[in-house]
């Protein structure tokens, strides 16, 4: 059985999330899911690439999924795009 | 043999790129690649989702790849993340 972690990407600096990925993978997690919405989607891709290229060479992208979520704000709903990037060792 | 198209996503409105996808697929192309760098990555995901959900229900995401490119600007190189989203019918 593998233990998975989810890291929600927001507007903090990329390095903060890279550190979160590294510490998740040093624990029990065999893979980590980066999840982001809207403008943070590009940050999620940055986090995956920087972690892989600079910190953990044996890390690879296992899967990427995109989708749409409905957000309710100020009484009306709007659609926002989402991404989920699975990173794992090996 | 299938004919493929590439659409480069920049800073234009999402709908402009959706129209480009639709007209590519009405021609010979059996699939379309959306390619974007940096901040435009989230727009690329928006284009894929909006085209799929609003215009072409039989469109699906065939593959998604992310990567890093080196850009030379003002004498120094910086890394920028990239995405390539393949959309196809069926």
Can you tell me the mean pLDDT for A30-48? Answer: 97
Q: Could you tell me the residue range of the domain that residue B44 belongs to?
A: 3-89
Residue A64 contacts B, CB cutoff 8 Å: yes
Chain A hits for B86, Cβ within 8 Å:
none
Q: Give φ, ψ of A38 to 5 degrees.
A: 55, -135
User: Taking the CB of residue B74, how many other CB atoms lie within 10 A of it?
Assistant: 5
The total of structural domains in chain A comes to 1
Q: What is the CATH number of the domain that holds A10?
A: 3.30.110.20
Residue B2 has pLDDT above 80, yes or no: no
Residue A46 contacts B, CB cutoff 8 Å: yes
Chain A hits for B9, Cβ within 8 Å:
none
Using pLDDT thresholds of 50, 70 and 90, give the confidence band for residue B3: low
Residue A55 has pLDDT above 90, yes or no: yes
Residue B87 has pLDDT above 90, yes or no: yes
Q: Given B42, B68, B79, which is nearest A81 (Cβ)?
A: B42
Using pLDDT thresholds of 50, 70 and 90, give the confidence band for residue B69: very high
Nearest CA in chain B to A37: B42
What is the rounded radius of gyration, in angstroms, for the C-alpha atoms of chain B?
14
Give residue-wise pLDDT tens across range B44-60: 999 999 999 999 999 99
Residue B14 has pLDDT above 80, yes or no: yes
Can you tell me the mean pLDDT for A52-70? Answer: 95
Residue A15 contacts B, CB cutoff 8 Å: no
Tell me if A41 and B40 make a contact (CB, 8 A cut-off): no
The ipTM assigned to this model is 0.90
Those residues whose C-beta lies under 8 Å from the C-beta of residue B59, and which sit 6 or more positions away, are B25, B51, B52, B87, B88, B89
Residue with tokens 């590009």: A42
Chain B hits for A51, Cβ within 8 Å:
none
């Amino acid at each position: 059985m593998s233990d998975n972690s989810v890291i929600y990407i927001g507007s903090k600096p990329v390095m903060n999330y890279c550190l979160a990925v590294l510490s998740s993978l040093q624990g029990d997690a065999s893979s980590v899911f980066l999840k982001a919405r809207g403008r943070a989607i590009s940050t999620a891709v940055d986090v995956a690439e920087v972690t892989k290229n600079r910190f953990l060479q044996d890390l690879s992208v296992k899967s990427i999924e995109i989708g749409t979520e409905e957000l309710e704000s100020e009484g009306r709903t709007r659609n926002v795009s989402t991404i989920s990037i699975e990173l794992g060792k090996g």
